[in-house]
Amino acid sequence: MSSYPKDIYENGEFFRYCKMCKEFHTLDKFYKLKDDKYTRYCREKNIVNRNAREHTGLNDVENQSDKMEAERILTAMGYELYNNDNPIHQQFLRRIQSKYGGLD
């Protein structure tokens, strides 16, 4: 059972509840997913949320076996771990840039 209100159909239009801003918006304010489903965050909050994310690296991984496996895989792939001046996400982006010319 969900913790947010159900979608509303009123005056010929659907309204969806954004669980981040806690308001109802028309469906055009949400990103459409597969199978005619929509996100639970409105577009505006989705963009804000995406821009606010921080890259925390492996230091914040709570499950030690997951952390060890990630370290093993990333090391085998040639990434330098635990270097604040050269974080893994920046190494990844440089690889994509040099191999494919970017993420576009």
> What are the residue ranges spanned by the domains of the chain?
8-52, 57-100
Sign of CA dihedral 69, 72, 78, 84: positive
| Whole-prediction pTM | 0.46
| C-alpha–C-alpha distance, residues 44 and 98, integer Å | 32
Q: Which candidate, 16, 83, 11, places its Cα nearest to that of 45?
A: 16
Is a pLDDT exceeding 80 seen at residue 49?
no
> For 1-32, what is each residue's pLDDT tens digit?
567 788 899 999 999 999 888 899 999 999 89
Average pLDDT, the chain: 86
> For 55-82, what is each residue's pLDDT tens digit?
667 777 778 999 999 999 999 999 999 8
What's the confidence (pLDDT) of residue 52?
Answer: 63
CA distances to 6, 59, 69, 102 from 93, in Å: 40, 20, 21, 8
What's the confidence (pLDDT) of residue 57?
Answer: 72
Q: Are 79 and 52 in contact (CB under 8 A)?
A: no
Average pLDDT over residues 84-95: 89
| C-alpha–C-alpha distance, residues 68 and 1, integer Å | 35
